[in-house]
Structure 1
Amino acid sequence: MPMVESVLAAIPQPYRDVAVKHRELVKFAVVGGSTWVIDTAIFLFLKSTVLSDKPITAKIISVLVATIVSYVLNREWSFRTRGGRDRHHEAALFFIISGVGVVVYTAPLAISRYVLDLQVPDVSLLTQEIADFVSGQIIGVLAGMAFRWWAFRRFVFPDENARSKVPTS
């Protein structure tokens, strides 16, 4: 059974019918979840090692790596039948929109650290780390994913059924 069908089969009714109707969104969410893991792992690694005093730089690097993976997975799986643009134009738009997405992703972390001062010495190290995680990995990711879902469908992959269907996996 292909992965999407396995995921859909695990969803209880009546939510399954909604998920089937919005299959493309389910795939986008799976890609988003996968790239969230990549983003989180890289962010936490960099922030706890070589970029411990530069969380914004760590976040930008982690989002950029996750974005490259996201382009490949979204183009070849989530939006595999959508298109309407030359490949180079599509890729350029994807990365421009993702660049704007970096701002959307990073803004909650910047607000948490530099507007709300949720950083050492103003708060405990534990509070700082929890605030960084919630603002950078939850709020930022949700806001960024909502923006990217809308922008990818609107600008990057605007035409439905523009590419021939490829067997799903």
Structure 2
Amino acid sequence: MTVVEATLARIPQPYRDKAIKHRELIKFLMVGGTTWVIDTAVFLLLKATVLDGRAVTAKVFAVLVATIVSYVLNREWSFRTRGGRERHHEAALFFLISGFGVAVYAAPLAISRHVLDLQVPGVSLLAQEVADFVAGQILGTLTGMAFRWWAFRRFVWPDQFVRRQPVPPPPPAD
């Protein structure tokens, strides 16, 4: 039994049926959570060291690192039942869409910093850091993830290439 099947077996009904129906989305969100941690760590590390004072640049680099990890995890796990394209074509589409995703992810932080001017000396250092976190790590992540979910399913791994897998049987009653 795989980890996914074991996890699904522990979910009570009727939630198990919903989880099975939307398992691709759940996997995508788990990959997103993993890459969010990577993105956050890289963003905070870069912003506090070599890119001090360059929050938007640090965010773009952090998203790029997380995007590379995301491709591998999404290809091999979240969307593994989809295929049909040559790998290089699929990767090119993934990274092209992810390039647009970088702009979507970074836009809330850029608006916070450069339109709303939520940065030192206009606001306190604490207010700047809170605004950076909310704009870059929460709003940017949510908007970027929604965009990528739609675009990946539409262009990189479309429905026409889905290889259906059998639904695992329900666990035996105790």
Q: TM-score by structure 1 length?
A: 0.90
Q: Give the residue type in structure 1 aligned to 2:68.
A: I
| Residue aligning to 1:122 | 122
Instruction: Please state if 1:69 is matched with 2:62.
Output: no
Identity, % of aligned positions: 74
CA distance in 1, matches of 2:51, 2:98: 22
SS at match of 2:50: coil
| Residue aligning to 2:135 | 135
Shift of 1:13: 4.8
CA distance in 1, matches of 2:152, 2:106: 19
Q: In structure 2, do the counterparts of structure 1 residues 127 and 161 end up closer, same or farther at CA, with 3 Å as the change threshold? A: same
| Residue aligning to 1:106 | 106
Q: In structure 2, do the counterparts of structure 1 residues 129 and 7 end up closer, same or farther at CA, with 3 Å as the change threshold? A: farther
SS at match of 1:32: helix
CA distance in 1, matches of 2:134, 2:7: 26
Contact 1:119 1:128 in 2 (8 A): yes
Contact 1:102 1:144 in 2 (8 A): yes
Instruction: Please state if 1:24 is matched with 2:24.
Output: yes
| Residue aligning to 2:42 | 42
Q: Give the residue type in structure 1 aligned to 2:69.
A: V
Q: In structure 2, do the counterparts of structure 1 residues 81 and 50 end up closer, same or farther at CA, with 3 Å as the change threshold? A: same
SS at match of 1:84: coil
Shift of 1:16: 3.4
Shift of 1:17: 2.6
| Residue aligning to 1:147 | 147
| Residue aligning to 1:160 | 162
Count of aligned positions: 164
| Residue aligning to 1:81 | 81
Q: TM-score by structure 2 length?
A: 0.88
CA distance in 2, matches of 1:10, 1:45: 37
Shift of 1:97: 0.1
CA distance in 1, matches of 2:31, 2:78: 8
Shift of 1:7: 4.3
Unpaired segments ≥5 residues, structure 2: 167-174
CA distance in 1, matches of 2:96, 2:23: 25
Larger Rg: 2
